[in-house]
Structure 1
Amino acid sequence: MTRLEDDYDGTRPLRTIARIYRPQRWHLLAAALAFVVKHSPVFLMPALTARVVDVVVDHRPLRELWISAAIMAVVIAQNLPVSTIYGRQLSLAVRHTETTLRMGLTQRLQELSIGYHRRTSAGVLQAKIVRDVENVVEASRSAYDAGLAAVVTLVGAMVLTGINVPEFLPVFALAVPASAALIFTTRRGMNQRNASFRAEVEQMSARVSEMTHLIPVTRAHALESRELDRMNGTLTRVRQAGIRLDVLNTRFGALSWTMFQLLSVVCLVGAAWVAWTGFFPVSAGDVVMLSSYFVTLIASVTGLVGLVPIVTKGLESVRSMGDVLGANDVEQNHGKRRIDHVDGAITFDHVTYLYDEPGGDTVLALDDLTLDVRAGETVAFVGPSGSGKSTVLNTVIGFLTPWSGRVLVDGTDLAGVDLRSYRTHLAVVPQESILFEGSVRDNVTYGVDVPDDAVLAALHDANALEFVEQMGGLDAVIGERGSRLSGGQRQRLAIARALVRDPRILVLDEATSALDTTSERLVQEALGRLMKGRTTFVVAHRLSTIQGADRIVVMEHGRVVEVGGHVELVQRGGTYARMHSA
C-alpha cells in the first residue's frame, strides 16, 4: 500500500497533489463530466440568445422563437439534478483525500522519534494536521471548480464562435496568454508572503498551546499582564503579516479585474464596429453573442486568476506538511525481528550516547555504560540532574539508540528488534501521568482488551478502586488530562494501566516525586505490587523511595560511579552516602 510520504515531493507541490488525488481519479472524472453538463448554460445561452435577437431583428418565423425558448428551458432545468451529481462526486474525492492527508500525517507522527517531538511544538504539529490540510482541500476544491469553469467556458465559447463567427477566434485566444502572464509575474511575491504568514500562524499556534498549559502558573503568580503582553506581540506579528498578504491579494485582484474589463470593452466595441461597417458578415445577434461570451470568459478567467492566493496558500501548506512527511528522524521497525516473549534480562554493553544541541555541539549523556540487569531485578538510578538517569530509561524503552555499544534484551540487541513488539511487554509510569478525556475504563484499558473483572482487580491493587467507586465506577469520566483527579489519583490510575498490561519490564520515572506524603504512601504500596516479579528500572530523587531496590546505580556525568544495595553503599561512605546524609 502506498504511503503518503512516498507520494510527497516538497520541491514539486503540484505533482504531490496530483499523486495524492490519484486514487480518486474516477470520482474526479465523473465530477468533470457532470460539470460540463451542468455548466452548459454558460456557453449555450449566448448562442441561443443570439438566435432570439436575430428572430426579432430579421422578423423570422415565431416558430424559431418557441424552439429556442424550449431549448433554453431544458438547458437550464438540467442544472439542478446534474449539479447534485457533480457535488457528490467531487465531495467523495476531496473528503477521502482530506482524511488520507490527516491520517498520513498522524501515522508519520506516530513513527517519528521522541527526539523529534521534543524539538517540535505540539501547537505547530496541530496546525499542520488541521490548518494545512484544510488549506490544501480548500485550494483543490476551489481550483477544480474555477478551473473547470474556465476551461469549459473557453472551449464552448470558442467552438460556438468558430461555427458562427470564426473571424473572432483570435480575440479569445489572447485572453488566456494574458492571464497566464499575469499569474506568472505575481506568483513569486505571493509565495513569499504566504510562507511568511504561515510561519507566523504556526508560531501563534505554538504560543496558544503554551499559554493554555501555563494558565495555572500564570494565575498563581499574578503574571496575567505579562502573558497577555507576550500573546499580544505574537498576535501583532500575525496581524502585520496578514495585512501585507491581504494588500498584495487586493492589488493583484484589482489589476486583473481592470485588465480584463478593458479587454471586454475592446471586444464589444470591435464587434459593433465590424457589424456597423460590414467589414465581414456579423449580425446583431452575433454582436450580442460575442459580447456575452467575452464577458463570461473574462469573468471565468478573472475568477481563475483570483484563485491564485488560495492555490498559493494550498501549495505552501503542501510544503509545510513536508516538515513532518519529509523528516528523517523516524523509528525504523520494518523488517526487523519481532519479540513474542520477554523474560526481562537487560544488558548495557558499553553504551555511549551524545545529545545534539541546537548550536551544533554535542553533550555526552552516557559514557561507556556497562551493566547487567537480571530478569525480575529492581534497579534504581540516582544522581544529580544531567547525570544520565533519564537517558538510561529512554534507551531501555527504545526511544534512544546508542551512538556506540548495545542494549540487549534477553541477549538480543534492541537495534535489530521491532520495538513495537518489544514494547508490548513493557510499561512506563512517568512523573506526570498521561491521561485523556474519557472514562476510567478507557484510560486503564488503553491499548489492551481485558474484561471488567481484570480492570477492577488492577484498580484494587493500585489502591484506586475506592475513589473510582466514589466517582461512579468504571464509566466515570475523569476530565481532560484527568482534571477531576488529584495527582496521587492520576498516578494510581497510571499504575492500574500498567498492571492490566502485565508487563515483564517496568520503567518508573520519578513516579512519586510530585506527591504529598499520604498519596506517596498509597502509590508506593501500589508500586510494590506492580514491581513484584518484574524487571524494574527506577529513577527517583527521594532516596527513601528506592532503599528497597535490589541494586542502586549512582551516576555522575553519564558514568556509573557506584553500584550496590542501600546498606552497602551507605557503609561504603562514597557518593551515595553523601547524598543520603544530605
Structure 2
Amino acid sequence: MTTMSSVGVTSASSVTLPVASVREVRSYASRLTLHYPVELAGALALHALAAACGLLAPRLLGDLVEQSGRGVDHAARTGLLICLSVALQAGLLQFAVFASARLGEKVLAELREEFVDRVLALPLATVERAGAGDLVSRTTRDVDALSQAVRQAVPNTLISAGTIVLTLGAVVLLGPLLALPCLVAVPVLWSATRWYLRRARAGYLAANASYAQLTEGLTETVEGARTVEALRIAHRRDERARQDIARSYAAERHTLWLRTVFLPISDTAYVLPVVATLVIGGLYYLHGMASLAAVTAAVLYVQQTIEPVDAMIAQLDTLQVGGASLARLLGVAEATGSQEDPTDRQSGPGLLRAVGVGYEYRAGQPALCGVDLEVRPGERLAIVGASGAGKSTLGRLLAGIHPPHSGEVLVDGTVLAELPLDERRRQVALVTQEHHVFHGTLRDNLALGRAAADEQRMVAALRAVEAWEWAGEVGLDARLGAGGVELSPAQSQQLALARLVLADPRVLILDEATSLVDPRAARRLERSLAAVLAGRTVIAIAHRLHTARDADRVAVMEAGRIVELGSHDELLALGGVYAGLWAVGAAAEEG
C-alpha cells in the first residue's frame, strides 16, 4: 500500500473521531437544502397545491350537511366536485412525491461525495487512532440512517407541516372560535416533544458510538483470527464481544425507552383536538355562534390533520437518528486539518531533516529519543538496526504520518506538519509491506498513483518494478480481486510500487517494501527502482543488509537513537554495531 504523508494529530488520547455540534448540523443541513432552491420551491409548491385541493372536500361536505335539511338538489354536483378534488389532489401528490424524492437523491449524493472527500483527507495517524470500527460504522450505519432521513423523513415532515398549516388556516377562515379547540393538544405535544428532543441526540450518539466499538472489536477478531487461534485467546475475544454487545444493547434500550414514553403521549395528544372541536363546535352551533356547515367542516379538517401530525411524530424519531448520524459524518471534517491550496507553493530541492525528534507510543516509554538526521536531496539512505530499534517509527515521522512529541521534521526548512495536506502527500511517500488491491481493472489500480497517466507510462511503471511479465499476460483491462484475477502477495506489492513510480514523489520512504518478493528478485527490483527514481531522495528501512550496501549512507539505530552514520565501507571499517550486524547476516547467508 502506498501511503502519502499526512498531518498528525497531537492528541493520542482520542478514541473516536469528533462529532459536529447541533449548530453545525443545522447550518450544514440548511446550506445543503438551499443549494437547490428551484427544486425545493417546486416540490413545496406541488405539496401546497395538493394540500389545498384536500381542503375542498371537507368544505363541500359541510355545505352538503347543512343543505340536507332543505333537500339534496345539488348533491350530485357536490359529489362530482368532491371526486374531482380528490383526483386532482392524488395527481398533484404523485408529482410532489416524485419531486421530493428527486431532490432528496441529489442532496444525498452531494452529502456522500463530501463525506468521501473528508474521509480521504483524514490524516493516517487519525485513522489509526480512531480504529476501523468508528470509520466503518460512520460509512455504513450512519450513511444508511442519514439516507433514510433524507429520502423519507425530511420530505414527509415538510409535507406534513405544510398540510397542517394550510388545514389550520382553513379552520381559522371558517371561524376563529373554531380554531380554539385545536390548541388543546399544543401544551401536551410541546412538553412531550421538548422532553424527548433534550434527550434524543445524546442517546442516539451514544448508540452509534457503542455500535462503532462493537464493529471495531469484531473487525479485530476477524482480521486477527489466526493470532487469536495461535495464542488461544478466543475466550478473551468472546468476552470483549459480549461486553460490546451489552453496551450496545443498553444504549439501544435507552433510546427505545425514550420512544415508549414520547410516542404514547403524542398519540393521545393529537386525538384531543378532534374531540374538543366536536364538543365545543356543537355548543357553538346550539348557541348560534357557528353554522352547521362550519362545525362539520372544522371537525373534518381537524380529523384530516391527524394523519400529518402522526406522520410528523413518527418521522421525528427518524430525524433524530439522521441528525445524530449527520453530526458524526460532519465530525470527520474536524479531524482533516487545513486544506490549503498548494498550487502557488514553489518546490525546493527536497532536503529532509529531523531535529531532536522524540516519540512515545505510551507515556514514559520512548520509541525515539532526540534523533537528529539530515537526508540530502537525491541521497539514498538506509536505516538498519535490530527489531524494535525504532526504524519504522522514524520512517513514519519522516513521512509526516505522526508528528513528533518533541523536536520537529522539516522539508526544505518548513515544518512538515504545517504543509497543506496535498503538498505533504506530494512531497513524501511511505511504502510499507502492507498493500491493497482495489476492485477494478489493473488500469484503475495504477491510475490511483496518477490519474492522468497514459497507457505508455503505466507500462513503463510496471516494467520498472519487474511486473510487466505477469501484467502483460493479463492486460491492463483485466479485473482484479474477487471474481477476477487474484494477485499473489508479491504481485500486489509490485502493483503498489508501480503506483509509487507513477506518483513520482520527491522523497520516498521504503519500509520493507519488497519483503514479500523473493530475495534475489527483490534485489533486482530495488536496483530497477533506484534507476527509475534517480534524483529522488530515497530512505530505505532495511532488514536485508544488501539494501544498506547499495545505499549512499547507512544510519544504524539502537533503542530509539542513531548510534552510527556513514557509508557501508566506513561503518565496516569502524567495527561497531553495523559491522556486527553485517557479520551475522553474512554468516546466516553462508549457513
TM-score (norm 2): 0.83
Higher relative contact order (CA 8 A, sep 6+): 2
SS at match of 1:23: coil
The reply on whether 1:455 has 2:458 as its aligned counterpart is: yes
The reply on whether 1:390 has 2:392 as its aligned counterpart is: yes
1:538 Cα offset (Å): 0.7
SS at match of 1:132: helix
> Of residues 123, 127, 134 in structure 1, which corresponds to 2:133?
123
1:537 Cα offset (Å): 0.5
Contact 1:10 1:318 in 2 (8 A): no
Contact 2:185 2:269 in 1 (8 A): no
The reply on whether 1:111 has 2:121 as its aligned counterpart is: yes
Q: Which residue is equivalent to 2:13?
A: none
Shift in alpha-carbon separation, 1:409–1:314, aligned structure 2, 3 A: closer
Shift in alpha-carbon separation, 1:206–1:404, aligned structure 2, 3 A: closer
Q: Which residue is equivalent to 1:432?
A: 434
- Once residues 245 and 405 of structure 2 are traced to their aligned partners in structure 1, the CA distance between those partners, rounded to angstroms, is 42
Shift in alpha-carbon separation, 1:187–1:423, aligned structure 2, 3 A: closer
Shift in alpha-carbon separation, 1:223–1:497, aligned structure 2, 3 A: same
Contact 1:339 1:421 in 2 (8 A): no
The percentage of counterpart residues that share the same residue type is 28
Q: Which residue is equivalent to 2:359?
A: 354
SS at match of 1:120: helix
Alignment of 1:234-253 (within 5 A): 234-253=244-263
The reply on whether 1:468 has 2:475 as its aligned counterpart is: no
Contact 1:9 1:15 in 2 (8 A): no
> Of residues 520, 537, 554 in structure 2, which corresponds to 1:552?
554
1:554 Cα offset (Å): 1.0
Q: Which residue is equivalent to 1:4?
A: none
Q: Which residue is equivalent to 1:299?
A: 307
Q: Which residue is equivalent to 1:32?
A: 44
The reply on whether 1:330 has 2:337 as its aligned counterpart is: yes
SS at match of 1:108: helix
Contact 1:179 1:301 in 2 (8 A): no
Q: Deviations over 1:30-82 (max 9, x none)?
A: 2111101112343322111112222323315x2x3233233223322223442
- Letter aligned with residue 570 of structure 1: L
Q: Deviations over 1:555-577 (max 9, x none)?
A: 23432210123343234232223
Unaligned runs of 5+ in 2: 1-19, 585-591
Q: Deviations over 1:63-116 (max 9, x none)?
A: x32332332233222234423432343234322322232222322233332221
- Answer with 404-413 or 51-60: which moved more: 404-413
Q: Which residue is equivalent to 2:267?
A: 257
Q: Which residue is equivalent to 1:75?
A: 85
Q: Which residue is equivalent to 1:570?
A: 572
Contact 2:353 2:411 in 1 (8 A): no
Contact 1:482 1:490 in 2 (8 A): no
1:279 Cα offset (Å): 1.8
Shift in alpha-carbon separation, 1:292–1:165, aligned structure 2, 3 A: same
Contact 2:554 2:567 in 1 (8 A): yes
Contact 2:342 2:423 in 1 (8 A): no
Unaligned runs of 5+ in 1: 1-7
- Once residues 45 and 350 of structure 1 are traced to their aligned partners in structure 2, the CA distance between those partners, rounded to angstroms, is 81
Task: Please provide the CA RMSD for this pair.
Answer: 3.5
Shift in alpha-carbon separation, 1:539–1:308, aligned structure 2, 3 A: same
TM-score (norm 1): 0.84
Q: Deviations over 1:206-238 (max 9, x none)?
A: 234334433555577887777566445534443
Shift in alpha-carbon separation, 1:182–1:57, aligned structure 2, 3 A: farther
Q: Which residue is equivalent to 2:524?
A: 525
What number of residue pairs does the alignment pair up?
562
- Once residues 412 and 320 of structure 2 are traced to their aligned partners in structure 1, the CA distance between those partners, rounded to angstroms, is 54
Alignment of 1:310-321 (within 5 A): 310-321=318-329
Contact 1:365 1:558 in 2 (8 A): yes
Contact 2:515 2:522 in 1 (8 A): no
Shift in alpha-carbon separation, 1:188–1:211, aligned structure 2, 3 A: same
Shift in alpha-carbon separation, 1:149–1:375, aligned structure 2, 3 A: closer
The reply on whether 1:48 has 2:60 as its aligned counterpart is: yes
